[in-house]
């Protein structure tokens, strides 16, 4: 049944969107999930000789990297992708109520996003990232062209693939909007992504 993986992928991208929005607004313009954005901002800071700013954008990359490595290790040990997701939920849930300071907070959340990035990379047999959407947009364009003009006459792509890709992009956008709203409406905005992660595990 394709509905379950689609829901899981969408919820995970919503989590990433919220994390990025909250991180960018409250943690000094640093992304928690979007490491491409952090890389670009670090490069600009280096070019302008703003080395402390460059460090702020580079350090989450290492935290994300370690989180992704740990998720991979956990998968090797137990072959259960929901274990890293549960760990991510616990970390983000804890960060909802604890503050270690702006720079430390973003490192912890980036670590959690690294867990998510490597925990589940396929949904219903389709490879999809739940922490970035640039490649998703490119693949959606490919799927749209293949649907409108199949490479092989009479052969259409599986309908679930473009739908899944569009849902993950939309999920990230919804998450970013939700993150912006939550920052102005609730005291602990990271509670929401923690709850969404638990739902993903239960699906």
| Model pLDDT for residues 82-97, shown as the tens digit of each residue | 999 999 999 999 998 8
For residue 68, the domain's CATH number is 1.20.1250
- Mean of the per-residue pLDDT values for the chain? 89
Nearest to residue 193, comparing CAs of 137, 132, 131, 134? 131
Mean pLDDT across the stretch 86-115? 89
Average pLDDT over residues 64-85: 95
Residue 102 and residue 95: Cα distance in Å, rounded?
11
Q: 3-class DSSP state for residue 9?
A: helix
First to last CA, the chain: 12
- Which residue range is the domain that position 33 belongs to? 3-202
More confident residue, 19 or 126: 19
Number of domains within the chain? 1
Q: Which residues contact 60 (CB under 8 A, 6 or more apart)?
A: 30, 31, 32, 35, 38, 106, 107, 110
Predicted confidence (pLDDT) per residue in 154-197, tens digit? 555 555 678 888 999 999 999 999 999 999 999 889 999 999 99
Cα separation, 94 vs 31, whole angstroms: 19
């Amino acid at each position: 049944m394709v509905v379950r993986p689609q829901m899981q992928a969408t919820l995970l991208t919503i989590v990433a969107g919220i994390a990025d929005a909250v991180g960018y607004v409250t943690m000094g313009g640093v992304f928690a999930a979007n490491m491409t954005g952090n890389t670009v901002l670090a490069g600009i800071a280096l070019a302008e000789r703003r080395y402390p700013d460059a460090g702020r954008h580079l350090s989450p990359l290492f935290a994300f990297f370690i989180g992704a490595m740990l998720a991979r290790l956990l998968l090797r040990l137990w072959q259960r992708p929901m274990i890293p997701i549960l760990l991510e939920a616990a970390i983000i849930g804890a960060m909802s109520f604890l503050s270690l300071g702006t720079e430390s907070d973003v490192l912890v959340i980036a670590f959690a996003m690294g867990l998510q990035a490597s925990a589940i990379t396929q949904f219903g047999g389709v490879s999809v990232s739940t922490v970035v959407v640039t490649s998703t947009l490119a693949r959606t364009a490919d799927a749209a062209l293949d649907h409108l003009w199949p490479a092989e006459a009479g052969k259409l792509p599986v309908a679930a693939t473009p739908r899944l890709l569009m849902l993950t992009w939309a999920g990230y956008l919804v998450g970013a909007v939700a993150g912006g709203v939550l920052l102005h409406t609730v005291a602990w905005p990271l509670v929401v992504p923690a709850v969404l992660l638990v739902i993903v595990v239960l699906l």
